[in-house]
Structure formats: C-alpha cells, structure tokens
Amino acid sequence: MSRDSQTVSSEWPMRIMGIDPGLSVTGYSILEFLSNTDKPNLLTADKITTDSKIPLGARLGKIHKILEFVIKEFAPTEIAVESQFLGKNVKSAMSVSQVKAISLLAAFQNGLRGREISPREVKEIVAGWGGADKEQVRAMVLAQINAVSLPSSFDISDATAICLAAFSLRRFDIIMGDNYGSGDKL
C-alpha cells in the first residue's frame, strides 16, 4: 500500500464543521464524509443568535460556549470558517472578525485543524461560480448532501456550503501529500 493510500484511508470518516460567522447570527453545520465518493451526511445544522442589547463579551462568550458544546458533541475532525467579505461597514467587519477569531480559537482549543475560506471560493467550489447568489448556493448544497431539506436560514446553508468547500480543499491537500493543508493544527 502506498503512502498516499494510507494517508487517504486514515482520513475516513471525516467530519467537517462549517461556520458562517456573524455577531447577531452565526450559522454552523457538520457534515460526515464516509468516503471520498459518497454524499456526506448532515449531522447537525443550526444557528446561534445573540441579542444586540447585551455586552459584546457576553455575546462572544455565548457563541464560543455553544461552538464548544457542538464540537464536543459531534467530534469534527476539522473546522472551516468563512473569511469575511470586506465591505464598507467597518463595525460589521470587526464583529465578524471577532466571531471568526473565537471560532478558530475553539478549533485550536480542541486540537482541530482550522481553515479559513473566502465567500467567493466557497461559491466557486459548491455552485461552480463565484458570483452565485444565496439561493443558487443553497440549491447546490442540497444536491450534494444526504438531506431532504435544510433549515430556512441562509446562515445555515452557507455554513453547510463551507463544509463542502473545506472537504474539496482537504481532498486536494491529501492528494498533494499535505496532511495539514492550509489549515492550522498545532
């Protein structure tokens, strides 16, 4: 058995957690990939909401606590977080960055690979076009996973798309012989 086939076979099953970070709403999803060819199973998908009237630290703490619980409950092997789209709203960009940071911190604290993926890259991988809208991404997500439906939130379908994109990038890493890929694992 070649080194590459040993590396690939040791990856299964692979559970990837995707996170669509936001201070008001953070979507998350975990897909389980049993092999390189089968459609993945949707293990969980939900959103975390926080009240804008409570202090920032409490909001970030709530998101971190729930992410920690989900990680312990479903034991993902990797976490992928959507990197932010740099728009004109600096305050919004900063809050997304804070949620992204605590998401990657949760990965690190649990010894997991953490990966950032840009929104355009997610859309290109999942929908075939970096300019796809949220409905197109959602439809392509449903076509690529073992699930009859997804909750109606775009935060959740985006998180599931992030899982699919991370899996595609992880397969590339494995093929190229890079066991850690572009994700951080310490």
Residues carrying an active site annotation: 20, 82, 155
Cross-strand bridge partners of residue 46: 28
| 67 within 8 A of 98, measured Cβ to Cβ | no
Could you tell me which residues come within 8 angstroms of residue 153 by beta carbon, excluding any fewer than 6 positions away? Answer: 25, 27, 47
